[in-house]
Structures are given as C-alpha cells and as structure tokens.
Amino acid sequence: MKFLNKTLSILKIIFPTTKSEVFIFLFFVVLYGANAWFIAQNFRIVYDERIPWDAYFSFDNRAIVQTGGGFERHPLSNYFFDCIRDFALWISGNHYNSVFRLVLALLSTVVIALANVSVFKYLDNIIQLPLKISLLILSFYGLFVTNILLSFTPETYTYTLLFLSIFNYYSAKKIQEDKPISFGATIFGSVFIGGLTITNIVKVYIPFLFEKKIFWNWKKIGIAVSKIAISAGIFAFLFLLRLDFNFQNFLNKTEEQYDKFSKPKVTPLWDMITSWFFGGNVLFSNYEIRDYHTKDKTFYYKALFMDVYTSAIPYVFIGLILLLMIWSVVKNYKNKLIWILVISFSIDILIHCVLKFGLHTSYIYGGHFVFVYPLLIGWLFYNYRDKSLHLSILYGVLMMMTVYLGFNNFYRLDEFYQFLTTFYK
C-alpha cells in the first residue's frame, strides 16, 4: 500500500490531475501538435538521413536520434534515445519515413505540453496565484521560441525542459512543506537531467542548500551529502560504462568541444547575449540562411540560423522581461525558492555568457533555463497580491507583451514554413 501511494504521488507530480491541468495539457497538445503534424508530414526537416546537423537553428536531430549526441555533453542520452528511436521505428514499420518523423515530433509535443503543465502546477500550487493570472503567465510562456521549436524537435533540450520543470516543481513543493528531497528523486535527477546534459546535474543539488535548517544539523548535512554522493556515483558509473572507462577520452573531447564552441564571433558580445541568450529563447528574430554540406561533401543543404535583432522594439521587449525578473528577485529576496531559480539560471549565464560556450547559438539552449522566466514573473505577481492597482498594471503589461509575442512569433513561424517549402519538401 505504501509503495502504491508513493507511485501515485509521483504520477500526480508528473501528469495533470485537476480539470485545469488536463485542459492546459490538451490545449497545448492540440496547439503544438497541429504544428508538429504539419511539419513532420509535409517536410523532411525533423529527420533526414542525409542531414547530420544544423538544418534549422543548430539542432542536431539526426545525431541525437541515432546516437544521443556527443558523450562529452550528453553522457547518458544514447540509452534514452535508443528507446525513442526504436519506438518510432516500431510504429513506422522500421522505415525512416513521414510516420517515423511524425512519431518523433508528436512525442516532443506531448513532452513540452507536460512541461507547461509543470510550470502551471508551480504557479498554481507553490505560488498560489489566481487562475486567470496563472493562465496569462502560462499563455505568455507557451508562446516562447523554445517551446514552439522544441514541441516538434527530437532533441535533448526537449526532454531536459520536461525533467527540469518537473524536478523544480517537486523540490519547491518539498521545501515549502519542510520535507527533505527523497533519495529516489536525487538519483532520478542525476541520471535523467545530468545524463541528458552533464552541466545540469549541478541544478539537481541546488535545492539541498535550502532544506530547513540543514546547516544547523550535522545529521541533515550527512544525509544530504550521502544522497548527493551516491546519486553522483551512480551517474559516474553509468557514464564511465558508456566510455568503456576511458575517462581521458572524455577530457580530450571536452577540451576540443570548448575550443570549438567558445571562439569569439564577429557579432558583439553584448548583442549575442541580448539577442540570442536572453532573447532568442523567447522572441524570434530575423533569419539567416547558410550553405552547409556533409563532411565528405556528398550532400549540400541549406541551414537556417537566427540573426540578431534589427530594430529597437525587440530589445525593449527583452529588456522589459529582464526588468520584471530582476524586480521579482529584489522584491522577494527573502524567499528561498526564488534563490533556487536564480542560482540555477546563473549556472547557464556562467556557461554561455561568461565562458561563452555556444553563445553564438545560445537560442537553442532554452530547454536548460527558460522555465525560470514565467516562475520569476509569477513571484512578482505574488508580491503584489494585496495591491490591486499594481496587480492590474502588471496584468495589463503582461497582456500586451503576450499579444506582441504571439504576433511576432507566428509571423516568424510563417517565414520558417516558407524556408521549409523552398528547401525541405
């Protein structure tokens, strides 16, 4: 009976349970699913055996589906994507055709819809905002570039966004209830979150810093350290198993990847940070088409990338989002749940903006941190819950931003369709 109750509590965290959550899940499945179905059925962009990488916005669909991506960044994702690929092939009759693409795309749709439900659960159960405010914030978030692109893209970022959203909600719930994070959840987070992207494993351990009076009790410190050590040990063993225990190969490959993806670009640093790291995951910019080919130059294809913003309005829009987020942190600086989000986000800022790893294509990394945006905005609304005028102003501002975001991103999505029609029929 205890095991059954534990299982049910886990399922309640992952899946929609209330009428509102079911409606939200179905709404996003239909919205994203229509887009995914159209792209997968009519174009070969989601998966094409001839295209190894970068066909659109630097996503590596074929490499991820076939191998899980490079082991130096995605240490355990090959096990994960082997299951996904085999399932899609089973449905498609062992053919890499439109059915295969459709299964991959619709799995991504379901995953992003579930991730959105997790964000709603946080807004509704942790912050406890009124329903209309939670729905507005979720509508705003649901229109983000990251959610739109990942909702039909078979990538590590797609599943990372789900696992991080779920774990963030779970850990916030535990801390709010003054309960410790379970040993099982720590292992789950280490293997699934760290396994898909190695740097994200740190985010699994951040909530331990905020457990009740953990620094005043040696026993609690010992238990927390043991959970982290054992989960990290399991992760390390599985990782080394994949490497055939050749750890030097991992170090060499990591250095090679860092040199490749952290070189300065022609674009000014401030513009890459603004247009691609902070903005590119939220608001589509103009596109740039480049000529690409396979290593042996047997196949040439067109690849689509985001350009920096070319007018003042997008910069103002992104600046306003950052202002709301910073404002939220300042107004809620005593709230430990805020600092979990801030520290988690700071890890990505360090990796991409300070160390410059992948900064020139940082708009693809949104699955690692973009869920922080709506949650910080949600905490800002919470801070003004008893001030009707401030609340109305915030609501009105966010409403206008949502309208602009939707108009811009749907317009750019139509341009994306034109690219697909021209080059990927």
Q: Which pLDDT does position 66 carry in this prediction?
A: 93
Taking the C-alpha atoms of residue 144 and residue 23, their distance in angstroms, rounded to an integer, is 20
Q: How far is CA 208 from CA 234, 346, 370, in A?
A: 18, 17, 22
Residue 103's pLDDT is what?
A: 97
CA-CA distance, 223 to 221, in Å (whole number)? 6
pLDDT tens, 5-31?
A: 778 888 899 999 999 999 999 999 999
Measure CA of the first residue to CA of the last residue in the chain; give whole Å: 54
The neighbouring-strand residues paired with 292 are 301
Looking at residue 347, its pLDDT comes to 96
- Amino acid residing at 355: L
Residue 173 confidence (pLDDT) = 96
Q: Which residue, among 126, 128, 224, has the nearest Cα to 166 in the 3D structure?
A: 126
For residue 147, give every residue at least 6 positions away whose Cβ sits within 8 Å of its Cβ, in sequence order, or none: 32, 112, 115, 116, 141, 370
So what's the pLDDT on residue 295? 84
- Alpha-carbon distances, residue 329 vs 227, 304, 343 (angstroms): 29, 36, 11
Q: Is the dihedral of CA 329, 333, 335, 339 positive or negative?
A: positive
Structure tokens at 148: 């739109």
Beta carbons of 200 and 408 less than 8 angstroms apart: no
Is the separation of the CB atoms in 282 and 370 below 8 Å? Answer: yes
**Local confidence pLDDT in tens for the 425 residues of the chain:** 677 777 888 889 999 999 999 999 999 999 999 999 999 999 999 999 888 888 999 999 999 999 988 777 889 999 999 999 999 999 999 999 999 999 999 999 999 999 999 999 999 999 999 999 999 999 999 999 999 999 999 999 999 999 999 999 999 999 999 999 999 999 999 999 999 999 999 999 999 999 988 888 888 899 999 999 999 999 989 888 887 777 676 666 665 665 666 665 678 999 999 999 999 999 999 999 999 988 888 889 999 999 999 999 999 999 999 999 999 999 999 999 999 999 999 999 999 999 998 898 999 999 999 999 999 999 999 999 989 999 999 999 999 999 999 999 999 999 999 999 999 98
Q: Give the span between the Cα atoms of 20 and 1, in whole angstroms.
A: 29
Residue 304 contacts residue 57 (beta carbons within 8 Å): yes
Q: Are 312 and 363 in contact (CB under 8 A)?
A: no
Q: Which residues of 306-331 are buried (b: 16+ CB within 10 A; e: fewer)?
A: bebbeeeebbebbeebeebbebbbee
CA 44 to chain CA mean position, Å: 24
Q: What is the pLDDT of residues 366-383, one digit of tens each?
A: 999 999 999 999 999 999
* Polymer length in residues for the chain: 425
Could you give the CA distance from residue 198 to residue 261 in angstroms, rounded to a whole number?
16
Predicted confidence at residue 10, as pLDDT, reads: 83
Encoded amino acid at 11, one letter: L
The whole-number pLDDT of residue 253 equals 64
The pLDDT assigned to 265 comes to 66
Among candidate residues 73, 276, 36, the one with its CA nearest the CA of residue 152? 36
Angle subtended at Cα 203 by Cα 338 and Cα 205, rounded to the nearest 5 degrees? 95
Is the distance from CB of 154 to CB of 45 less than 8 angstroms? no
Q: Give pTM, 2 decimals.
A: 0.94
181 neighbors 211 (Cβ within 8 angstroms):
yes
Instruction: Report how far residue 19's alpha carbon sits from residue 191's, in angstroms, rounded to the nearest whole number.
Output: 32
What is the distance, to the nearest Å, from the Cα of residue 194 to the centroid of all Cα atoms in its chain? 13
| pLDDT tens-digit map of 46-97 | 999 888 888 999 999 999 999 988 777 889 999 999 999 999 999 999 999 9
Give pLDDT, residue 5.
78
Could you give the 3-state DSSP secondary structure of residue 375? helix
304 φ/ψ angles, rounded to the nearest 5 degrees = -110, 130
Q: What are the residues facing 300 on neighbouring strands? A: 293
d(CA 192, CA 167): 10
> How many CB atoms neighbour CB 142 within 10 A?
25
| pLDDT of the residue at 181 | 93
